[in-house]
Structure 1
Amino acid sequence: MIKRIIAYRGFIYESIKRDFQAKYMNSMLGSAWAIINPLAMILVYTLIFTNLMKARLPGTENEFSYSIYLCSGILTWGFFSETLSRTCNIFIENANLIKKINFPRICLPITAALSSLVNFSIVFVLFILFLIVTNNFPGWSFLSFFPTLFVQLIFSIGLGVTLGLLNVFFRDIGQLLGVSLQFWFWLTPIVYLDSILPEQILKIVELNPLTPLVKAYHLIFIYNEHPDASSLIPTAAIGLLLCYSGVYLYKRCAGEMVDEL
């Protein structure tokens, strides 16, 4: 399967390129919106929480601490939710293509995930520029960001492919995902510190596979520390298991998929 995906790398590249161009087609500013929207979000968070609310994290004197805490969590959550939403619906959205052209269908969720990664990369570069301008770049701990993001990507793709295949046969899954993501967001310590939670709620939050990822990002960007690799092992293991289940379902359901679409 990997060899077939590599063989269709040109198809994947062109699909990502076409998706990016279509997103900003017929707009006067074109792809500039990919920079304007996240830049506006970062500026708004900085203005509100730093200047108006004077919000700061306990134990830090940095006036931008809560803005960085919020942005690092929301940006990576946005990447996760976009990847999951797109991969969950990718087979249904490309039903006509699947019926007309013979190609490895598994290329579609990979294309969706990589396209989300491109969008995230643009936003993340702006966030890094913000950290540099405000003299808050994390230093050497920044290198830990990449393996942490890789774990998140594996988890997102595995869950997205599995749900995407199931969504072909059980359409309620796509609708349920939108509702689930709203609850999932608030069960992830993005806008709050988990130290303020009651013990019963904290136990639920700690079971969330995204919690160690978000905490790792906070350690990197707020406290300039390398996260403990062992804390990411459960999420990585779940991600690999989901990737395996996605490939297994794909092999079992690829022939029936066309009929259901």
Structure 2
Amino acid sequence: MGISRADITAIALFMRQDLLDRHRGNALGAAWLLIQPLSLIVLFSTVFSHLMKARLNSYAGPYAYTVYLIAGVLAWGLFANTVQRVAGIYSEKAGLIRKIPVNLGVMPLYVLGVELVVFCISFALYAAYLLVIGHGLNLAWLWLPLVVGLLCMVAYGVGLVLAMLDVFVPDVNNLLGIVIQYGFWMTPIVYVPDILPPWLRPVVWLNPVYWAMESIHGIVLDGRLPSYLPMTGLAVLGVGLLALAAWMHGRLEKQLRDLL
């Protein structure tokens, strides 16, 4: 499942087309890539900063909950969108796959690329917002690319495995939508783990997405470096999922193309 120069060119073209098609026909076009995250930041900062003031670790400013919430929502959006879009990629692009000899193992990378572009734009606006409210950045932010990269690796691995299963069992994508909804509320994004009952807090650590969320929250709120154990866990899980996807691709590629 190697990547050739032709594969890289195809991924770049798919990314460009996806970004262009996203807001094609809208009067403001690509400006929506800025408007949408800005509107989210404004909404959260004006509503939640006043209605849900919270003391989070060492940061107790009036925008504490907003800072916490936006970081989690953006990271979860990257994970969930990548998983859902990659999981449905073969069914969505079946017509294209029948016409041209695309590499099924690497073609979905364009989805991850697009979601990363959108995430980076949103997070850059978020960082600017933090500077405006006086929260400031810190050296721990240098670790963000690592945390986000590991989260993306896990998301892509999950999505790729589900994409191949979806060709054989079409109900996979419908079930995934339900799991994603439950996953959002089972991950401390709109609440802090401290409000959970003592018996439930250890269970949260069974959620790999929480490992990334906790690291991102620690970096943004407290300037705390990610812990070694969750980062290692994410790396091992991501590599394992990609290895599983590569094995499935090698065993099932002919059947996948026949069914598509």
Instruction: Report TM bin, short chain.
Output: over 0.9
Change (3 A) 1:55 1:202: closer
Q: Is the 8 A contact 2:167 2:259 kept in 1?
A: yes
Q: 2 CA distance for matches of 1:175 and 1:3?
A: 30
Deviation per residue, 1:61-97 (Å, 9 max, x gap): 3221110100000000000000001000001000001
Q: Is the 8 A contact 1:49 1:55 kept in 2?
A: no
Q: Is the 8 A contact 2:3 2:106 kept in 1?
A: no
Q: Is the 8 A contact 1:80 1:156 kept in 2?
A: yes
1:107 positional shift = 2.6
**Residue 188 in structure 1 maps to residue 187 in structure 2:** yes
1:51 equivalent in structure 2: 50
| Alignment of structure 1 residues 60-71 onto 2, 5 Å | 60-71=59-70
1:129 equivalent in structure 2: 128
1:52 positional shift = 4.1
Q: Is the 8 A contact 1:137 1:221 kept in 2?
A: no
1:115 positional shift = 1.2
1:25 equivalent in structure 2: 24
Q: 1 CA distance for matches of 2:3 and 2:137?
A: 38
Q: 1 CA distance for matches of 2:183 and 2:60?
A: 30
Structure 2 portions without partners, runs of 5+: none
2:246 equivalent in structure 1: 247
Q: Is the 8 A contact 2:131 2:137 kept in 1?
A: no
Q: Is the 8 A contact 2:55 2:64 kept in 1?
A: yes
TM-score calculated relative to the size of structure 1: 0.95
1:143 equivalent in structure 2: 142
Q: 1 CA distance for matches of 2:141 and 2:176?
A: 32
Deviation per residue, 1:113-171 (Å, 9 max, x gap): 11111111111111111112222233101001111111101101111101111111111
1:103 equivalent in structure 2: 102
What amino acid does structure 2 have at the position aligned with 1:186?
Answer: W
Q: 2 CA distance for matches of 1:229 and 1:126?
A: 28
| Alignment of structure 1 residues 155-234 onto 2, 5 Å | 155-234=154-233
Q: 1 CA distance for matches of 2:3 and 2:121?
A: 29
Q: 2 CA distance for matches of 1:3 and 1:108?
A: 9
2:255 equivalent in structure 1: 256
1:2 equivalent in structure 2: 2
Q: 1 CA distance for matches of 2:236 and 2:110?
A: 23
1:59 positional shift = 4.6
TM-score calculated relative to the size of structure 2: 0.96
What amino acid does structure 2 have at the position aligned with 1:2?
Answer: G
Q: Is the 8 A contact 1:91 1:108 kept in 2?
A: no
1:16 equivalent in structure 2: 15
Q: Is the 8 A contact 2:52 2:65 kept in 1?
A: no
Deviation per residue, 1:27-80 (Å, 9 max, x gap): 011111111111011111000122344444365332211101000000000000
What amino acid does structure 2 have at the position aligned with 1:37?
Answer: Q
Q: 2 CA distance for matches of 1:61 and 1:255?
A: 57
Q: Is the 8 A contact 1:220 1:226 kept in 2?
A: yes
1:233 positional shift = 1.2
4+ runs of 1 displaced by more than 2 Å? 1-4, 51-61
Q: Percent identity?
A: 31
Structure 1 portions without partners, runs of 5+: none
Deviation per residue, 1:231-254 (Å, 9 max, x gap): 221122111100000111111111
1:3 positional shift = 3.8
Q: Is the 8 A contact 1:50 1:67 kept in 2?
A: yes
1:101 positional shift = 0.6
